[in-house]
Structure 1
Amino acid sequence: MKQEMATFLSTIKDEIWELTKYLYDNPEESFYEYKSYNYISNLLKKYQFEVTQSYLSIPTSFYAQYGEGHPKICFTCEYDALSEKGHVYGYNAQSAISIASAIALSKVIPKLGGSLIVIGCPGEIISGSKVAMVEQGTFEDIDAVLMVQPHTITAESGTSMAIIPLQIKYTDNAHKDTLDGKYSALDACLFTFDALNVISKGFENNCFINDINVNSINNSYLQSVEARFSIKTSSSKLADKIENKIKSFIDLTCSLLNVSSELHLYDIPCKELITNPTISRLFSHNLKESGIININGVKNIFSPLNLGNVSHVVPCIHPYVSIVQDSTIIYGTKQFADATITKFANDVIMKAAQALACTAFDIIEKQSLIVDAKTELSKMETSNLQIH
């Protein structure tokens, strides 16, 4: 049946290139990906997927299904871009890989049993929809989530950073007529940021407090100050511990400087990616079988991934495949976007799609792999809980 999928993929190669090119030609900003959303949804409908549009009341999100019951394997699609530079992150090619894999797998699912899910995930660049989907329970009934990220290197799925975006608001307590000798909200803000660097040093080398932005609110005198910053570290559990220390310090600051404070999230927290070892090994094997031999070890990234939140609920992988021939091209640039529609990139997209479809096939055919993958996830989550 794997050969059947490979043969079928060869018959839709032009159609998948047209998908990649259409998304490239029609770059759309996060949560406004109407053309991309409609194109992908209609393509899935053409191949008899049952498509729920505007999934979870998100206008450019969809949930597509082929088959019934378990095992239930999920592919994700991302399709937002930058309005001026286009698909600099290659999400047009990422969607193409997932769609090609899904269509190929649908040809053998009736013989295998189980079901195949494709989820359209808009807004990946700014905040993503996957985190909201996790909160709504989308992935609780899914056995594995698979995706491949086009890049300038080919590498195994690794991890990403966890991030907690916080906002502090300090407000003066005293009346303006009693300001002499009084600490201001700005003093409290500066005092806090002086301490943040010290707090971060008490944990690990890969702990950062950054993305700092301060906004003062004036009302004839300095009355309040709002400051935003992000806690970025290797583990969401560690980030929680740092957040608790910051809360304690803010309480102390309010007491010492006679100010009031408010602390809350200004965006959705993102957990670190947990790569599933069993599925990752399967994909690497299938990638080599598809003709992509050189895999450059594990790639860890120092930015957040919305898939990270999903990976704490269901076994996931997020490997990388190089779609460029020119080694000077940098990921995240217009040159990289242009590379996504070359003949070389299309060949890689089809090989990666074959590997992804074969990995899903392996999981469905040998369901003990799902048990192994879920056991591994449980053990890794338990290990995270023991961080101190």
Structure 2
Amino acid sequence: MKERIKKNAKEYLNDAFQIANYLYENPELGYQEVKACEALCNAFKEVGFEVERNIYEIPTAFKATYDSGKEGANIVLCAEYDALPDIGHGCGHNLICSMAFLAAVALKPILPEIGGKVVVFGTPAEETSGAKVEMAERGAFDDASIAMMAHPAPVSEESGSSLTLIPLQFQYYGKAAHAAASPEEGINALDAVILLYNGINAMRQHVPNDVQFHGYISNGGSAPNIVPDFAEARFYIRAKKKATAEAAIERVKKIAEGAALMTGARLEMSHFEATYYDLVTNHALLEAFTANQEALGDHVKPAEAGIGSLDLGNVSYKAPCVHGWIGFNDSSLVIHSREFADRTVTDEGKELLFRGACTMALTAYDVLTDKELLARIRKEFEVAK
């Protein structure tokens, strides 16, 4: 059966690679992926998937489903297709969505025999304020047996972890006055921001080692002779685990409130982007994923410690997840570069597309046909929650 899946993938490989090339030639930023969404939805319709657009009121999100009508696992694949400013598809999202498409169509012909269904979610804007966050909050992944995606990389590596990222905006409202003639009449909002900034800096040595603070002052006033009546700072707070980051946030909020009390300014706090949770890789699922990846001739390195943040992390709190890294086998290649984007549309990119899609499709087959594997995956997920 696995040979049939690979044969199915070869049959549609050129179609999938055409999608990757089309997106490479037409890069679109997050929540502006109109051409990408159209191309993918049309491709899924042509091969017999039920397609829903504008899901969760996100215009460039979609859901493509093929249901065998027989009892079985619900396999969810995530497709990303947003590009980077100036660089285009330097993160390889044109291959990510093409791998999801190819994996799904490779599975489709065998589902009537083994049961279950496959769902591909088109998930916009991973590079900025990822749609998976809202989709996860609104229940998109609640009935998923597993959720998978494959990401191009310089070298192949196991799915590992990522960092929780909480973006906070602090806005202080004071009172303007002439800085020389009547400073006593003013309330300096910039002073509050500076106190906030220094307070967070002082806190760095009193939090766990994995907690990180990255911030800048985005508005500090308009002129030297005017007491600033408005000032704003934005921070990212990161940590290895969601609970650690949330504990740090509570302390940051107290610093922010203290700065307001000390200056008399009024404080407003908000999230200026979506919060990304840490990725919780399901190791029972990963074991099957890696075995299939290596059976296709790939050499897979152990996962390294997570240093970035992914919106798939939010999905991993709703369903068992794996985020595989499919390599070009070129350690000199740098992700988020024009060179990386160019590599996606070479013969090497086409071969990577095939390997990544087959890895997901073969892993899905294992989950669909091995009840003991699915039970182990589910048990690990319930414990991790």
Shared fold per TM-score greater than 0.5: yes
- Aligned position for 1:386: none
For residue 159 of structure 1, report the CA deviation from its aligned partner. Answer: 0.7
Matched letter for residue 357 of structure 2? A
**Counterpart-to-counterpart distance in 2, 1:313 and 1:248:** 30
3-state SS, counterpart of residue 229 of structure 2: strand
Number of residue equivalences:
379
Q: TM-score, normalised by structure 2?
A: 0.93
1:201·1:207 contact (CA, 8 Å) conserved in 2?
Answer: no
**Stretch of structure 1 that moved more, 334-343 or 221-230:** 221-230
Please give the per-residue CA displacement for 1:113-163, whole angstroms capped at 9, x wherever unaligned. 111101111112211111110111111111110111001010000011111
- Aligned position for 1:309: 314
> Is the alpha carbon distance of 1:205 and 1:361 closer, same or farther for their aligned partners in structure 2, counting shifts above 3 Å?
same
**Counterpart-to-counterpart distance in 2, 1:187 and 1:365:** 63
- Aligned position for 1:265: 271
For residue 8 of structure 1, report the CA deviation from its aligned partner. Answer: 1.6
- Aligned position for 2:100: 98
Structural mapping, 1:217-236, within 5 Å: 217-218=221-222, 220-236=226-242
Matched letter for residue 277 of structure 2? K
- Aligned position for 2:153: 151
- Aligned position for 2:139: 137
For residue 218 of structure 1, report the CA deviation from its aligned partner. Answer: 4.8
**Counterpart-to-counterpart distance in 1, 2:132 and 2:80:** 10
Equivalent residue for 1:358, pick from 354, 357, 362? 362
- Aligned position for 1:38: 38
> Is the alpha carbon distance of 1:84 and 1:257 closer, same or farther for their aligned partners in structure 2, counting shifts above 3 Å?
closer
**Counterpart-to-counterpart distance in 2, 1:82 and 1:38:** 19
> Is the alpha carbon distance of 1:141 and 1:218 closer, same or farther for their aligned partners in structure 2, counting shifts above 3 Å?
same
**Counterpart-to-counterpart distance in 2, 1:192 and 1:116:** 48
Q: Percent identity?
A: 28
**Counterpart-to-counterpart distance in 2, 1:237 and 1:178:** 47
Structural mapping, 1:59-208, within 5 Å: 59-67=59-67, 68=69, 70-172=72-174, 179-180=183-184, 184-208=188-212
For residue 204 of structure 1, report the CA deviation from its aligned partner. Answer: 2.1
3-state SS, counterpart of residue 344 of structure 1: helix
For residue 225 of structure 1, report the CA deviation from its aligned partner. Answer: 1.3
Unpaired segments ≥5 residues, structure 1:
382-388
**Counterpart-to-counterpart distance in 2, 1:3 and 1:19:** 24
Please give the per-residue CA displacement for 1:24-77, whole angstroms capped at 9, x wherever unaligned. 122112112122111111111111111111222222111011014541010111
Equivalent residue for 1:295, pick from 300, 312, 335? 300
- Aligned position for 2:374: 370
2:177·2:185 contact (CA, 8 Å) conserved in 1?
Answer: no
For residue 173 of structure 1, report the CA deviation from its aligned partner. Answer: 6.5
- Aligned position for 1:9: 9
**Counterpart-to-counterpart distance in 1, 2:201 and 2:285:** 38
1:71·1:367 contact (CA, 8 Å) conserved in 2?
Answer: no
1:154·1:322 contact (CA, 8 Å) conserved in 2?
Answer: yes
Is residue 2:343 matched to residue 1:339? yes
**Counterpart-to-counterpart distance in 2, 1:338 and 1:43:** 23
**Stretch of structure 1 that moved more, 311-320 or 299-308:** 299-308
For residue 278 of structure 1, report the CA deviation from its aligned partner. Answer: 0.5
Q: In angstroms, what is the RMSD of aligned CA positions?
A: 2.0
3-state SS, counterpart of residue 377 of structure 1: helix
Unpaired segments ≥5 residues, structure 2:
none
3-state SS, counterpart of residue 86 of structure 2: coil
1:324·1:345 contact (CA, 8 Å) conserved in 2?
Answer: no
